[in-house]
Chains A and B, each alone.
Chain A
Amino acid sequence: MKPLPGEASIVITGMGLVLPCGDGVEAARSSWVSGIPCFAELPPHLGAGRGALCSAFKPAGIIPPMQMRRLDRPSRFAWGAVHQALADGGVDWTAGALGDRVAMTVGTVTGGSEAGEAFMRPYFERGPEGASPMVFPNCVANAASGHVALAFGIKGPSSTQVARENAAFMALDQATRWLRRGVADAVLVIGTDGLFPLQMELLRRAGRLAVHGDPIAEAGTGYLPGEGAQAFLLETRDHAESRGARIRAEVAAVACAAPVEESSEARAASLAMAVSEALGSETPAVWIGGSNGSRRLDELESALRKLHPDWPEPRFPKLIWGEFCGSGGQLLAAGMLEAQEGQVLLSGPGSLGCQCAAVIRRVRL
């Protein structure tokens, strides 16, 4: 949604990244500049194949060990990313709870699923005796928001959005609405997903994964999965300026459109519509795309490229950090790493649900 005349401008004042390339903005920047994929052989518990795991994620000193045991991977990653984003945004949470003027929107698809498998596997083996009441509370998609709220004392509104590849776009969109309505002074937008064995087996069985080398955009040979979390601190410009926050970027627009038919052409038209609404008639300075190597997504952006041959070539973070299968926040992270004064277009093709787009500008890291 673009701001109407008189509506508040929304800015990003903090960013935290937990990615397969490492934790933090500098690790992400190096990875993005190099363009070297982060895929490696998966550990045995995830089965055969390759993926991009956050193996270097170091929550020591951030997540207390007692808490760590209770968290699923998406919640751990989200906690780590929020910790960074608040520090980056100059928000001191150590002095006390952040309270009811800070809200949170989360995009995920695997949130709750890792715990679901961990809960049900022993149940199937041993019946009710095998079911752990410690695990079940993490079986909900909003487990991450609950843990982050507890960790930082966040008591404002919260929504967890699921939308296959574009959940973080929907979370970003909801955050801008709450800020413009004035129901919160700041909103943490989080995308988070974590790999788990059942997910990997399903993807392998369904033939979705690239099996011969790394994924290549538009090759249609499948994608490779990734994981991680991205957290962004959003505020109105007035609020950010009043507290002297460093403004890292402006969220110019978020748009989503959905097809009424289940064809590739209809989804491509919806993506073009979302992009057009977010960008208007302008040419982006930078284009970050959501292609991941699978035909179902890549053909949508391929059609968009044909419509706009004069636009810059898109870059695809999912070819470096993997398809997170839900959050999609790595697109916004890559857009932020571009540090462009002009319009940075983020196009989010989706295999289900909405096709999404967002535009950020005046990015200063």
Chain B
Amino acid sequence: MIRRVAITGVGFVSSLAQDAPSTWAKMLEGGCGIGPLTKLSMPGEPAQLAAEVRLPSGPDRGRRVTFGEHIALVALREALRTTLGPKGLHPRRMGAFQGAGTSGLPSAEAFAQGRMAGRRPGAADAIYQSPTTITDALGRELGAMGPRSTVMTACSSSLMAIGQAWERIASGELDLAVAGGAETLCMTTYAGFSSLKAMDPGLCRPFSRDRAGLNLGEGAAQFILEPLDQALARGAEIQAEVCGYGASLDAHHSTAPHPEGEGATMALRMAMDCAGFNPEDVDLVSAHGTATPANDSSETAAIRAALGGAAARVSVTSTKSQFGHTLGASGAVGAFAAVMALRTGKVSPTLRLENPDPACDLDYTPLFARERVVRAALVNAFAFGGNNACLALKRWEGR
């Protein structure tokens, strides 16, 4: 790797607000975007909660767009506004990297439902809406003629996408990339997690003794990545530095994480090695923190194993308590919390953590946001299939 990589633009459409600064302000106030489920009609489900994005959708510049494309584009445009350029880059040296979870499923569900109801639904929408469609829309918006990578590793997708973008910029192949993820609610995932008894009918409680599962959510978080020297030369504000990433497979179980967090530990260690971080350098872990019984204890074990004694002084936070689990976008949402913490020296809270699980014995920033020095952060995302990812970020300190 030959170049340092900076994040110079951030955009976030969330269930709390429709832009990054407003969302961050509400996160620090302890806002929760999870509320009654209104976008899906699933009356038989015991859980009726979700973190929904309230944003009117319609054609975009004359093109039909899905809701997933729409919120992804809104987030990208915000990110481009904050980065203020750069101008004159060669289109071949720009790319789009997206993590996807359920993109395209709502239209396939509508087709299948229509067919079962005896109608003859049109197939064009279901064919058109694929995960690649969002990546394409972002690439076109950016004017990028370079690679368009759509990663689908379930809940670690968008973190892998950011990692891939870092790889291409650090290696000197690209000069700019949009990376992140967008996720919208759909029936398949709602019914699926419910069938696994992984949904809390109440508000989720990551790392709590009485945690009972997750809430699902939607949102889009997008980042502009570019070489640090290029960003400095044009006077861009450096939001954070991306220092590398790690990834691993559990090879343990199709849905359950390794109880000791073996695969997750490998991903954390790989990210730290890649970034050149010592455990003592890390001040924050933006956790996967789904509030499922298996994840939270496994993740705690992984953080302890990777950071050793330094784990005791690290702040941990779970964005799932504020945004629910945004699946394919959740890694990017976690990265947003980490980038903002690095910039502001404030760590967003893990809500509703009033009764901690003794097996989860780290500092999870319970209930309230906290000020502290945050020099470096790790972002975790773990997925079905045992796909683990960890992103390493560093505060920009002027050199």
Binding site for B on A (CB under 8 A): 1, 70, 97, 100, 104, 109, 111-113, 116-117, 119-121, 123-125, 127-129, 131-133, 136-143, 145-147, 149-150, 152-164, 170, 173-174, 177, 181, 183, 198, 201-206, 208, 256-262, 270, 273, 352-354
Interface hits, B189-206 → A, CB 8 Å? 189, 191-197
Contact flag A198-B112 (CB < 8 Å), given A258-B136, A258-B145? yes
**Do B153 and A160 touch (CB < 8 A)?**
yes
Bound-state Cα–Cα, A139 to B327, Å? 13
Bound-state Cα–Cα, A183 to B245, Å? 11
Which residue, of B187, B192, B270, B387, has the highest number of chain A Cβ atoms within 10 A? Answer: B192
Could you tell me the distance in whole angstroms from the C-beta of B92 to the nearest C-beta in chain A?
A: 7
Q: Which of A70, A124, A140, A206 contacts B113 (CB 8 A)?
A: A124
Per-residue 0/1 for B325-367: is the Cβ within 8 Å of any A Cβ (1 yes, 0 no)? 0000000000000000000000000000000000000000000
**Do A257 and B100 touch (CB < 8 A)?**
no
**Do B384 and A137 touch (CB < 8 A)?**
yes
Interface hits, B365-394 → A, CB 8 Å? 383-387
**Do A258 and B385 touch (CB < 8 A)?**
no
Contact flag A159-B153 (CB < 8 Å), given A149-B250, A258-B136, A260-B144? yes
**Do A146 and B384 touch (CB < 8 A)?**
yes
Bound-state Cα–Cα, A159 to B381, Å? 13
Which residue, of A206, A208, A353, has the highest number of chain B Cβ atoms within 10 A? Answer: A353
Bound-state Cα–Cα, A254 to B104, Å? 28
Bound-state Cα–Cα, A361 to B245, Å? 32
Could you list 29 A-B pairs, sorted by A, with CB under 8 Å? A97-B251, A117-B112, A119-B195, A121-B116, A124-B116, A131-B194, A137-B384, A138-B254, A139-B188, A140-B153, A142-B384, A143-B385, A146-B384, A156-B247, A157-B270, A159-B160, A160-B152, A162-B100, A163-B132, A170-B147, A173-B147, A201-B123, A208-B127, A256-B147, A258-B145, A258-B147, A260-B140, A260-B143, A260-B144
**Do A156 and B249 touch (CB < 8 A)?**
yes
Measured between beta carbons, the chain B residues less than 8 angstroms from A257 are 92, 145-146
Closest to A147 in B: B254
Is B150 positioned at the interface, with any CB of A under 8 Å from its CB?
A: yes
Could you tell me the distance in whole angstroms from the C-beta of A248 to the nearest C-beta in chain B?
A: 25
Per-residue 0/1 for B139-169: is the Cβ within 8 Å of any A Cβ (1 yes, 0 no)? 1100111111111111000001000100100
**Do B147 and A133 touch (CB < 8 A)?**
no
Closest to A152 in B: B251
Measured between beta carbons, the chain B residues less than 8 angstroms from A258 are 96, 136, 139, 144-148
**Do A150 and B251 touch (CB < 8 A)?**
yes
Size class of B's contact patch?
A: 35 or more
Could you tell me the distance in whole angstroms from the C-beta of A258 to the nearest C-beta in chain B?
A: 5
Bound-state Cα–Cα, A119 to B195, Å? 10
Is B48 positioned at the interface, with any CB of A under 8 Å from its CB?
A: no
Is B109 positioned at the interface, with any CB of A under 8 Å from its CB?
A: yes
**Do A198 and B108 touch (CB < 8 A)?**
yes
**Do A100 and B146 touch (CB < 8 A)?**
no
Bound-state Cα–Cα, A230 to B145, Å? 28
Measured between beta carbons, the chain A residues less than 8 angstroms from B56 are none
Bound-state Cα–Cα, A136 to B186, Å? 14
**Do B250 and A155 touch (CB < 8 A)?**
yes
**Do A150 and B247 touch (CB < 8 A)?**
no
Could you tell me the distance in whole angstroms from the C-beta of A321 to the nearest C-beta in chain B?
A: 22
Closest to A204 in B: B123
Contact flag A145-B387 (CB < 8 Å), given A139-B188, A155-B266, A273-B92? yes
